[in-house]
Structure 1
């Protein structure tokens, strides 16, 4: 939560988390402004109406060493619904592909075979948002994956 609430600071939009009007900062501290999607958030489950404690947590600087550990740990966790598919087969799917159009068709094919966007991105050295965009565009074009 702290990392997310501090993104506007990192982007130089504001100098204090409370100054950014489009975050959940104020909604977490004011039940009258809280949308239903935040009612069961982890921070409210843990701290309830202890608004000063929540505010202190959100205002505390981001610990970059802790953030690195969290990123490392999350990279080791696999999505439970993801099929356990052979990594070598995934990489072979992209062998000898030089054109972007063909690569994108094969990305869609891999995704439809059950590979996660994260695994496809990792195999190709792309970001997951890039793979997501490709899948979305290819599906929008009615592209038919190769067989």
Structure 2
């Protein structure tokens, strides 16, 4: 597992290049925040985690596959990752940060327009998602 990168991964670099092309500037890997988010917008109090589907137990085809060798170890490792991720998101929410999780499977080239729209909506939204009025109401 020493060879597995935790920063500057290919999925993270895709999101960073996309954000930069959209005109956004950000900070990276703020170790003083729970979970050391991959991308941080301090002025907006927003941050983005770019998660690998396998390592963070996503429910897509890539995340659902389990190695045959040492299956018990991997099952418990991924379960611990899920709990840790939920704890980090709760701590960040409690501290007043809004978080977005981008999954590796969302980075397919055919999904780039949808990803761009998701990022823009997240970053331009002035109100937290849970307090935003329903669509059509003001």
Normalised to the residue count of structure 2, the TM-score between the two structures is: 0.24
Q: Which structure shows the higher helix fraction?
A: 1
Between 1 and 2, higher relative CO (CA 8 Å, sep ≥ 6) is seen in 2
Q: Which structure shows the higher strand fraction?
A: 2
| Larger Cα-atom Rg | 1
Normalised to the residue count of structure 1, the TM-score between the two structures is: 0.23
